[in-house]
Structure 1
């Protein structure tokens, strides 16, 4: 006998004495109005951005919902890895260009990659004390050679050409390595600056004046043109409803959490916490 119990998107399957839990791909609904009435899609981007797949999937799912008039995106992130941040940015930009407004509400932190994913919004709403900005790129490469020497261990490397093991933790960085990696970081930095300049309509030279990695409060960001107004999540929700032509308290439609997302969040950063070093090598928009 197979018994399936569903609790708000979580299906518990009981079969032959075995219990398994799987999240059902469904939408969670809250607020005024019934199903089918005009609504806002609600997405949260929280913590370190290390994978874009679930967020992009959720954005697409909501944007294709005929009842969803626009997206309200809550960002509370210090940033993360470059490529996932860019993929989320690209998907939000696609929604905006499709004609559905995107409004971002910044929480405690929306810095570096957290700002990058916010940039394509029609309206960015920050709290006065939000920590944002930190426009820049960082690459961290731990060196373990000294530790291995103390343990009496070494790693032999056979490589095709000089830079094939660039960034290896088993040897010191050479001047040539550093020059090459600095070029990579500089190129990605210029991409970040260009995105900010384009999305916020700020001249490139003006962006570079404050794009040195510094953090900014929401109020400072407003003065520089990086956000549009100051306010809370509730303020952002009302602003989004007004832009989308929704009267009264807007209905929010949320993607249901999935089990694999929960497991990924549980494991995210585990190697850093256990080993004290990040996954390497990687480029990050991170504060």
Structure 2
């Protein structure tokens, strides 16, 4: 048998064995677990986070969820997607604890609000409760460069926020009403779960975009406890009544073959045909 064919067969056998072992292990009882889901960076594409939350809800071995939030915020819609998924998780009766990292502001705080308990470090930056729409106007600069633009549109608001012209007073009024509606939704989302810890009057006083340290946020009632991720995990175990539960980090996982190709053959610089050529020599 040719040398390359032997190597290819060996490679195939290894993949089959690993796949079989993975399938076998997935059927074994895993015991009680506390799941940890990380939300890191801007909240723009919520699908993967929502999917993980749903899996944690459906997994009978998961007795509690810790959401680790390290985000400066993001879009309103994406934050609401995660918020709603967390509400759905809570319907299972499993405890939900949030652990704030370096920053948990704006949308990062939005998705933290449904938690049964919120932990923050004393120096965590949180708050920034508000909504913003920004407009950059380049008309004068482009005119100096001899560049002119024309918009053909179906309605007077269709090119609102275009950088090629000023906003009209009517557009400014329309945008202000839009963000005020989103802002009101933000406030009500917080009050739905934290009205016993911070009054609506107090929330409106401080919800002007300013940020707070974790220590000040605790004094205001925006967070419940000062502590790190491990403190949040320990409390989640206690709340779920599973002190010996294992911690399960729900990281993004790639298929074995893809991971092998991307990481196991770094010497080939990600050149898959080159890798297969050397495998078959």
Q: Which TM-score band applies after superposition, normalised by the shorter structure?
A: 0.7 to 0.9
The partner residue of 2:53 within 43, 59, 71 is 59
Residue matched to 1:15: none
CA 1:215 to 1:239, structure 2 compared with 1: closer, same or farther past 3 Å? Answer: same
The partner residue of 1:223 within 219, 224, 235 is 219
1:139 aligns with 2:141: no
**Superposed displacement of residue 233, structure 1:** 0.8
1:213 aligns with 2:209: yes
If asked which structure has higher relative contact order (CA below 8 Å, sep 6+), I would say 1
Per the normalisation by structure 2, the TM-score is: 0.78
1:41 and 1:63 in contact (8 A); partners too: no
1:156 aligns with 2:140: no
Residue matched to 2:87: 93
Q: What do the CA deviations read for 1:19-55 (whole angstroms, capped 9, x no partner)?
A: xxxxxx99xx9xxxx8521101110001111110011
Counting only pairs closer than 5 Å after superposition, residues 42-57 of structure 1 correspond to structure 2 as 42-57=36-51
Residue matched to 2:279: none
Structure number with higher strand proportion: 1
May I ask how many residue pairs the two structures share in their alignment? 238
**Superposed displacement of residue 259, structure 1:** 5.9
Distance (whole Å) between structure 2 residues aligned to residue 167 and residue 258 of structure 1: 39
Residue matched to 2:235: 239
Q: Which runs of 4+ in 1 moved over 3 A?
A: 1-6
Structure number with higher helix proportion: 2
CA 1:170 to 1:77, structure 2 compared with 1: closer, same or farther past 3 Å? Answer: same
Residue matched to 2:260: none
SS of residue paired to 1:138 = coil
Shifted more, 58-67 versus 233-242: the winner is 58-67
Residue matched to 1:73: 67
CA RMSD of aligned residues (A): 2.5
Q: Which runs of 5+ in 1 are unaligned?
A: 12-24, 261-287
Distance (whole Å) between structure 1 residues aligned to residue 29 and residue 144 of structure 2: 65
